[in-house]
Amino acid sequence: MSPSSTGGFLDRVLGRVKLGGWLALAAPVLAILFAAAITAIVLLITGNEPFATFGLMVEYGFRPRTLALTLNFATTYYLAALAVAIGFRMNLFNIGVDGQYRLAALIAAAVGGALVLPGPLQIAVVILVAVVVGGLWAGIVGLLKVTRGVSEVISSIMLNAVATGVGAWLLTPELLAVPVAGSNNIGTKPIPEAAHFPGIALVPGTQTKVFGFIVIAALMGIAYHVLLNRTVFGFNLRATGRSESAAVASGVNVKKMVLVTMLLSGAVAGLIGMPQLLGASYSYSLDFPTGLGFTGIAIALLGRNHPVGIAVGALLWSFLDNSANILDLEGIPTEIVIIMQGTIVLSVIVAYELVHRYRIGAEQRRVGRELAQNTAKPEGAAV
């Protein structure tokens, strides 16, 4: 039903087909309303008052402390979604972002704990190590794909498991970890205070600082936009994503593109753990957050791989995540949040598809009408 000129379903899901004007906004708004409606039904069935619950979430969400926390979570989510989005734009499904950021954070934390350099320099070294480790780990996936044709979905998901194993092996007292007296936790040596990434008191009315890394995340978003839309590399990347054969025909070295894109995606993945490592925990221990790579996939889909869309998606996701605590306190099952997040992703995809089909239908009817009017006229009066 979809003409080839508008790409396949996948192209639309991944935001490679642009929707113009109000439709681009209508779809996500409708999707969120739809998700809210589903959640309301769930709440009713489980015996909770939907409007009171939403009211509670919004009230809690706009407390200064929560706002700061929301921005902090969103910073991490944004980086995770960007890492995923780079691959998505080229039809590369980097499911291994999770393993890439965990391994990168662990090794970067160990290096940061071992070194004593002037503060800013040490921060730079830690970030560099994370980027390199993340990139190299993702590079394995790229290499396997270009040399052996291994699907990146399979290899990256397996490398997640390998990263878990390697991480567990490294995080032992014999290698990178130091035990803490009296604690059952175990982590890398804490990064010295001089190399902590300073927070910003962005939200008035709370002592909780926002990760300074939010600036870097924003810069990464701009860099992502410029790279994709203003450079030859970005053009080649998008072209390869849309049609590999066409890209080959126009002289793009697809193998090189695959490898470089995976390296880039992994390098950004390496940054995911940095806000937490350099801004909050200063050490990689057993309770370092996990699963951010998979959250990133959902948010990249939600934001249709657009730098602004992802930012909105990350904020929404982190707002919902944060509201779980207040729901728990009020005795409302926190699973509501997960249901809502899942429904939003699904309904965004469905809404875009509906809007897209509506547009094609309208276009076809318009062309049909004009053709009918113009049958009497000579050729060449096409639309």
Partner 1 sequence: MLRNRVGRLTATVLAGAMVTLGVAACGGDNSSAKPAEGGSEKPAESTGAKVGLAYDIGGRGDQSFNDSAAAGLDKAKAELKLPEAKEMTASPGETEAKKEERLRLLADQGFNPILAVGFAYSGSVKKVAAEFPDVKFAIIDDAAATGPNISNLVFAEHEGSFLVGVAAALKSKKKNIGFVGGVQVPLIEKFEAGFTAGAKAVNKDIKVQSKYLTQPPEFSGFNDPAKGKTVAEGMIDAGADVVYHAAGGSGGGVFEAAKAGDAQAIGVDADQALTADAGVKDVIMTSMLKKLDVAVFDFLKSYAGGTVKAGETVYDLKVSGVDYSVTGGKVDDIKDKLEEYKKKIISGEIKVPSTNP
Q: Give the number of residues in contact with partner 1, rule: CB under 8 A.
A: 61
Listed residue (130, 96, 93, 145) closest to 256, CA to CA: 145
- Residue 55 or 165 with smaller CB distance to partner 1: 165
Residue 176: CB minimum distance to partner 1, A: 13
Element (H, E) at 198: none
Residue 252: CB minimum distance to partner 1, A: 36
- With CB under 8 A as the contact rule, the residue among 112, 142, 167, 303 that binds partner 1 is 167
Contact assessment for residue 246 and residue 239, using Cβ atoms and an 8 Å cutoff? yes
Of 107-115, 135-143, 215-223, 325-333, which part binds partner 1 (CB under 8 A)? 325-333
- Residue 102 or 145 with smaller CB distance to partner 1: 102
Residue 312: CB minimum distance to partner 1, A: 21
Instruction: Show the tokens assigned to 50.
Output: 């939907």
- Binding of residue 164 to partner 1 (CB under 8 A): yes
Of 7-15, 16-24, 305-313, 317-325, which part binds partner 1 (CB under 8 A)? 317-325
Q: How far apart are CA 31 and CA 371, in angstroms?
A: 35
Instruction: Show the tokens assigned to 151.
Output: 């699907």
Of 9-17, 175-183, 218-226, 298-306, which part binds partner 1 (CB under 8 A)? 175-183
Q: Which residues contact 1 (CB under 8 A, 6 or more apart)?
A: 357
Instruction: Show the tokens assigned to 56.
Output: 């509670």
Listed residue (142, 164, 165, 161) closest to 93, CA to CA: 142
- Residue 261 or 343 with smaller CB distance to partner 1: 343
Element (H, E) at 299: helix 292-302
Site string (251-290) toward partner 1, x via CB under 8 A = -------------------------x---xx----xxxxx
- Residue 141 or 326 with smaller CB distance to partner 1: 326
Please report, as a single letter, which amino acid is at residue 195. A
Instruction: Show the tokens assigned to 33.
Output: 């309303």
Residue 314: CB minimum distance to partner 1, A: 15
Nearest 5 degrees, angle CA 111-CA 114-CA 116?
Answer: 105
- With CB under 8 A as the contact rule, the residue among 6, 147, 151, 185 that binds partner 1 is 185
SS3 174: coil
Q: How far apart are CA 339 and CA 373, in angstroms?
A: 50
Contact assessment for residue 323 and residue 53, using Cβ atoms and an 8 Å cutoff? no
- With CB under 8 A as the contact rule, the residue among 64, 179, 205, 368 that binds partner 1 is 179
- Binding of residue 325 to partner 1 (CB under 8 A): yes
Residue 36: CB minimum distance to partner 1, A: 13
Contact assessment for residue 319 and residue 219, using Cβ atoms and an 8 Å cutoff? no
- Binding of residue 339 to partner 1 (CB under 8 A): yes
- Binding of residue 65 to partner 1 (CB under 8 A): yes
Contact assessment for residue 160 and residue 94, using Cβ atoms and an 8 Å cutoff? no
- Binding of residue 188 to partner 1 (CB under 8 A): no
Residue 215: CB minimum distance to partner 1, A: 19
- Binding of residue 342 to partner 1 (CB under 8 A): yes
- Binding of residue 322 to partner 1 (CB under 8 A): yes
Listed residue (362, 367, 359, 262) closest to 17, CA to CA: 359
Element (H, E) at 187: strand 186-188
Contact assessment for residue 262 and residue 253, using Cβ atoms and an 8 Å cutoff? no
- With CB under 8 A as the contact rule, the residue among 328, 370, 371, 373 that binds partner 1 is 328
| Binding residues for partner 1 (CB under 8 A) | 1, 34, 38, 41-42, 45-47, 65-66, 69, 72-73, 102, 164-165, 167-169, 171, 179-186, 276, 280-281, 286-292, 321-322, 324-326, 328-329, 331, 333-336, 339, 342-343, 346-347, 350, 353-354, 357-358, 361
